[in-house]
Amino acid sequence: MILAIAANNEWLLSQPFLYVVLILGAMLTAGVGVTVFSFYVDDYWTDSDYRESLRKGKRA
């Protein structure tokens, strides 16, 4: 049954919907990347005490 539906391309949704899903996925991925980068820049490089505590193995 599933193979018959896939063979007829009936499972494929409309192309604009797929583009919207693709764009939303790209925006989500970019948002996660910006969040990780901003933590790295703000909380790691600008906080020397935090880096020192990580280096010495102390928990914050």
1, two tokens: 């049954």
pTM above 0.75, yes or no: no
How many structural domains does the chain have?
1
Residue 8 resides in a domain:
no
59 or 43, greater pLDDT: 43
Residue 5 resides in a domain:
no
pLDDT at residue number 44: 74
Residue 6 resides in a domain:
no
Please give the full DSSP string across the chain, using - where no structure is assigned.
-HHHHHHTT-S---HHHHHHHHHHHHHHHHHHHHHHHHHIIIIIIS-HHHHHHHHHT---
Which residue segment(s) compose the domain that 32 sits in? 13-56
Asked whether 50 and 60 are in contact (CB, 8 A), the reply is yes
Residue 38 resides in a domain:
yes
pLDDT at residue number 11: 60
pLDDT digits (tens, 9 = 90+) for 9-57: 556 668 888 899 999 999 999 999 999 888 888 777 777 887 788 888 8
